[in-house]
Structure 1
Amino acid sequence: MNPSGTADAVVVGAGHNGLVAANLLADAGWEVLVLEATQVPGGAIRSAEVTAPGYLSDLYSSFYPLGYASPVLRGLDLDRYGLAWAHAPDVLAHLFPDGRAAVINRDVDVTAASLAAFAPADGDRWRQAYADWCRVAEPMLDAITTPFPPVRSGLTLLRRLHVSGALRLGRRLVVPVRMLGDELFEGEGGPALLAGCALHTDLSPEEAGSGVYGWLLTMLGQQVGWPVPVGGAQKITDALVARLVERGGRIDYGARVDRVLVARGRAMGVRTAGGATWRARRAVLADVPAPALYLDLVGAAALPPRLVEDLAHFRWDGSTLKVDWALSAPVPWRNRALAGVGTVHLGADLNGLTTYSAALARREVPRDPFLLVGQMSVADPSHSPAGTESLWSYTHLPFRRHWRSEEIAAHLERMEEVLEAAAPGFRSLIVGRHVAGPADLEAGDPSLVGGAIGGGTSAAYQQLFLRPIPGLGRADTPVDRLFLASSSAHPGGGVHGAPGANAARAALARDRALTGGLYAGAIGAAHRTIYR
């Protein structure tokens, strides 16, 4: 970096989206500076020993079907920078309260046999559902990870499916997951797998749009599995950082940006909390939540009044409680079919998931939590000593910024009761525990506001061209040369790099000599129309 305090692009935040954006701009020959508020990169993709010596925990996210399949991350060739993947023998299981389990294995015949145990026809129904997915998987993933509207991938889907098929696909994108499960399967196994995956978001089984999340994650589990980075989630971050540094990019840590500097409607640079200023010759990209960017870093005075009004209706996804355990032995599951599963959903059948979601909708703490559980040593034995297990679980809470320690402790007790019922003797194996409530998650990654891990609700009213507020559904903002690069932007949460890539593409398009003026004019006119 030259000593004048300038760069072509200043990227605010070294989460994975910020690092993806920085890498793509560096690939284009831009001089890039990333300013990170904390002392470490990665945002919610980090690992550390927090439970007991020799036990590695992924502090936030762990399993990465979207990351593994993402055209964005694949295009960065992160394997050249030390990223390798591992798979558990089985991908995912949904454990019912009565002890039965529906299991996804990367061998479609194994998955089909598991579902056929719930209803004989459901094995073939699964094969058909997977065949349908394979017809659309590539353009679907392209559509998810490119700016809205997805013109090229949309045309590909139309050619493959024709009008009638495209309309049916459009319906599938909005149908509730309970209804989708009823349409695809006869028994309980398939619908539970779909609904459990949908509840990785903040949507209930009855909400419009929940079906597409369940469909996407289960089908990716069948197609590519739910892999983990060998040596922990940190390896994704390490690879992104190494790639960026190789291309001349720089990251400054402990540099909390407190203002985007705006003049004549254009982002000129940023100021950090210590008073230092950095001029951006070409663009400022922000990997921070939308309310933080607009209200805190830019300020209402520099924004259209309608946008500020719309931000009052921005909705976060739920808060999260995550617990890591170091176990002296593998989890003693009552159902031994779970011994080789990477991710386990437990604590509820389909109706139980509805009850759990209803409590969250009422802003109540569920008495019977639904748990997402990760057996990290099953997926990657390097996470703990031989014959032991590095285990985690998280569950959703209603969104709140402040929680009392007694509330967190009481819910931890409920979580361990659910695990003990499914695996008698579980508690006796605990040799270390690390509890991260909503405030702890936000302290470690300021973008996880209130422990919300999705950058905003996944509900249909805040997706596509409505994300983060009604507008273009793109990375562009009403401030020229300022781009939103976080999961608050389309397509939302998940480790796939799409918001960062979309922001980089928008910045590059804005800067092109032949099209820059037209681009800026068109975007500016659109924003004036939307927000006037």
Structure 2
Amino acid sequence: MIRPDGFDAVVVGSGPNGLVAAVTMAEAGRRVLLVEAADRFGGGLRTEELTLPGFRHDVCATVLALAVASPAFRALRLDQPVAGHGPPPVEWAHAPIAAAHPLDKQPAVLVHRDLERTAGELGQDSAAWRATVGAAARAGDPLVDTLLAPLSLPRAPLGAARFGALAALPATVLGRTLFRTERGRAVLAGMAAHSMLDLRSPITSGYGLMLAALAHHVGWPVAVGGSQSVADALVARLVANGGEVVGGWAVRDLQELPPARLVLLDLTPRQVLAVAGDRLPPRYRRRLSRFRYGPGVFKLDWALSGPVPWSDPSVSRAGTVHLGGTLDEIALSEAEVAAGRHPARPYVLLTQPTVADPTRAPASRHVLWAYCHVPNGSGRDMTEAIEAQIERFAPGFRDLVLARHALGPADLEARNANLVGGDIGGGEASLSQFARRPRYSPHPWATPVPGLYICSASTPPGGGAHGMGGWQAARLALRRDRQA
């Protein structure tokens, strides 16, 4: 029952950022209402039986290294129970190998939790791995906190400066300059391609180095039972602190909301413009209208009768697999997408959740998902291209498929309006938009309208299940509210 006298804060949208924002406000003693357009909470933290009964698939995020490393999630301690409220605490599970990068006619490159083991297996590139990825991993939480709060005073200024000097480079430049072998260059490219940018673009090295460093620093874990368990734990934390939650409410206009001093929108600029309308000053509306969205993804989920038959059996122990071959091949694939074309041999990001968490499928069965990047709004079916890349490194894969489920850009946006054109990152992650997300400001979470904030992945530090946009927006809103 919604309070007739209103709330201190209303949060619209229950993705990781909206959930973190709502919990942060509630734990500060505010009366909070969280509203969500879908019937279930979580946004990108959703788990459903997409293929067959008993096979639990994450609709979007699965590997949650950023959630484990994030200062926002560390502060919430979701691995601790909430007495009398809902689900058990989140349990993290790690695959024996964090990530694998298969190559043709040679052993796959393996990224272990152990830095020295990973470096040692890279041979001639071992020193370069220790000096780049290793240095970032050893810098630990202070560097992570600095990178995930880019507009705050750095906790690790020297470490951030050293990291930044390399991170600013295009991945193609860093890979060919520092790494001497095809294997070292390929594994960096596979990491950097998570950025969904042309790998010839600035800062793509930063994405690759950061993700690789997290594999050594905190690992690349999954949540037991599915990513939905993280959303459920956040909702339970919110309710335990007096918050109210309402699902199935698609807000069309801010006037629909009950009275509140503070409103936080876990929405991208397109939806902010739709719900806020003329309340926003014309100049700010123009800025939001110029916000750029990145490529989309085409995602496949499979129910499998057995484990994937990788040519290199060690890949079967990896939670994440990067398929695309050499740096040159991956760079070509991402350049094609950036140019608005569909690559014939796309870079494919694949996860094997049941390697870490067998509870997601019936006994001896497996779930698997993969996606490739496509031009924003693409309507092309990429099933054949994705499965061909898997068969390239795992001949006979298709023989194990019991059922498959496809989600193209339009399907993803229909499920979650924030995924504009299939963009799962809340907007293009380029250098210019990294600093202008959604506008140049020391406080980009605040709009010109008093009490109205944006807390989505379209604010710093950008995409990923880290909750930092929500955390930053909520703390800014609380600070300003106390000063009012």
Q: TM-score range by the shorter chain?
A: over 0.9
Instruction: Find the residue that maps to 1:231 and give its secondary structure.
Output: coil
Distance 2:475 2:315 in 1: 43
Query: Does structure 2 conserve the Cα–Cα contact (< 8 Å) formed by 1:328 and 1:429?
Result: yes
1:38 corresponds in structure 2 to 38
Q: 1:105 Cα shift? A: 0.5
How do residues 254-403 of structure 1 correspond to structure 2 at under 5 angstroms?
254-260=248-254, 270-271=255-256, 277-280=257-260, 282-293=261-272, 295-299=273-277, 301-400=278-377, 403=379
Matched-pair contact (CA < 8 Å) for 2:15–2:44: yes
Residue type of the partner of 2:201?
E
Q: What is the rounded CA distance, in whole Å, between the counterparts of 2:469 and 2:413 in structure 1?
A: 20
Shift of 1:87: 0.5
Moved more, 330-339 or 128-137: 128-137
Deviation of 1:415 (Å): 1.0
Name the stretch that deviates more: 348-357 or 477-486: 348-357
Contact kept, 8 Å, 1:204 with 1:353, in 2: the verdict is no
TM-score, L = length of structure 2 = 0.95
Equivalent residues in 2 for 1:219-234 (5 A)? Answer: 219-234=213-228
State the match for 2:101 in structure 1. Answer: 94
Q: Is the 8 A contact 2:199 2:331 kept in 1?
A: yes
SS in 2 for 1:175: coil
- Distance in 2 (alpha carbons) for counterparts of 1:388 and 1:83: 23
Distance 1:42 1:135 in 2: 32
Q: Could you tell me which amino acid in structure 1 is paired with residue 474 of structure 2?
A: A
Matched ranges for 1:164-175 at <5 A: 167-175=161-169
How far apart, in 2, do the equivalents of 1:469 and 1:149 lie? 13
1:239 CA displacement:
0.5
Contact 2:167-2:205 at 8 Å conserved across structures: yes
Q: Is the CA contact 1:231–1:383 (under 8 Å) kept in the aligned structure 2?
A: yes
Give me the CA root mean square deviation: 1.7
Structure 1 distance, partners of 2:227, 2:297, is: 19
Q: Deviations over 1:303-340 (max 9, x none)?
A: 33332333343110111111011110110011112111
Whole-angstrom distance in 1 between the partners of 2:328 and 2:133 = 25
Contact 1:129 / 1:184 at 8 angstroms: preserved in 2? no
Deviations 1:19-62 (A, max 9, x none): 11110110011000011111110001111111122211111110
Which letter maps to 1:59? V
Q: Work out whether residues 473 and 489 of structure 1, in 8 Å CA contact, stay in contact via their aligned partners in 2.
A: no
Find the aligned partners of 2:285 and 2:265 in 1 and give their Cα distance.
18
Residue 195 (structure 2) pairs with residue 201 (structure 1): yes
Would the aligned equivalents of 2:33 and 2:243 in 1 still touch at CA under 8 Å?
yes
Equivalent residue for 1:424, pick from 395, 409, 421: 395
Amino acid at match of 2:286: E
Q: What does 1:147-166 correspond to in 2, within 5 Å?
A: 148-151=150-153, 154=154, 156-158=155-157, 161=158
Residues 412-491 of structure 1 mapped to structure 2, 5 A cutoff: 412-464=383-435, 466-491=436-461
TM-score (norm 1): 0.86
Q: Deviations over 1:437-481 (max 9, x none)?
A: 1111112222111111000000001013x1113333531111110
Worse-superposed segment, 33-42 or 125-134: 125-134
Structure 1 residue identity aligned to 2:115: V
The Cα shift of 1:180 comes to: 2.0
Looking at structure 1, the residues matched to 13 and 461 of structure 2 have their Cα atoms a distance apart, in angstroms, of 18
Structure-1 separation of matches of 2:269 and 2:439:
9
How far off is 1:385 after superposition? Answer: 2.4
Residue correspondences, number: 477
> For residue 84 of structure 2, what is the aligned residue in structure 1?
none
CA offset digits 1:87-121 (Å, max 9, x no partner): 000011111234431110112232123211xx3xx
SS at match of 2:242: coil
Matched-pair contact (CA < 8 Å) for 1:97–1:346: no
Aligned 8 A contact 1:456 1:468 in 2: no
Distance 1:319 1:467 in 2: 19
| Amino acid in the other structure paired with 2:104 | P
Which 5+ residue runs of structure 1 have no aligned equivalent?
A: 261-269, 272-276, 517-532
Question: Structure 2 regions of 5+ residues with no counterpart?
Answer: 82-88
**Equivalent residue letter for 1:320:** V
| Counterpart in the other structure of 2:140 | 137
Q: Match of 1:10, as an amino acid?
A: V
Distance 1:19 1:424, change over 3 A: same
SS at structure 2 position matched to 1:329: coil
Tell whether the 8 Å contact from 2:136 to 2:143 is kept in structure 1 after alignment: no
Distance (whole Å) between structure 1 residues aligned to residue 164 and residue 322 of structure 2 = 28
Q: In 2, distance between residues paired with 1:63 and 1:430?
A: 22
Q: For the residues of structure 2 that align with 1:166 and 1:78, how far apart are their CA atoms?
A: 28
1:185-228 deviations in Å (ceiling 9; x for gaps): 22122222222112112212210011110000001112221100
Instruction: Spell out, residue by residue over 1:273-315, the C-alpha distance to the aligned partner (whole angstroms, 9 max, x if none).
Output: xxxx4111x200000112211x21111x333333233334311
Query: What secondary structure, in the 3-state scheme, does the structure 2 residue paired with 1:53 have?
Result: coil
* 2: CA distance, partners of 1:347 / 1:78: 35
- Take 1:145 and 1:351, find their aligned partners in 2: how far apart are those partners? 29
Q: Shift in Å at residue 357 of structure 1? A: 1.5
Aligned equivalents of 1:54 and 1:256: distance in 2?
30
Residue 479 of structure 2 is matched in structure 1 by: 509
Paired residue secondary structure (1:396): strand
Aligned equivalents of 1:167, 1:32: Cα separation in 2: 39
Q: Aligned letter for 2:101?
A: H
**Separation in 2, partners of 1:42, 1:167:** 35
Q: Give how far 1:124 is off.
A: 3.2
Aligned residue number for residue 524 of structure 1: none
One-letter amino acid of the counterpart of residue 128, structure 1: A
Contact 1:483 1:506 in 2 (8 A): no
Hey, what's the Cα distance between the residues in 2 that align with 1:16 and 1:486? 9
- AA in 2 matched with 1:424: P
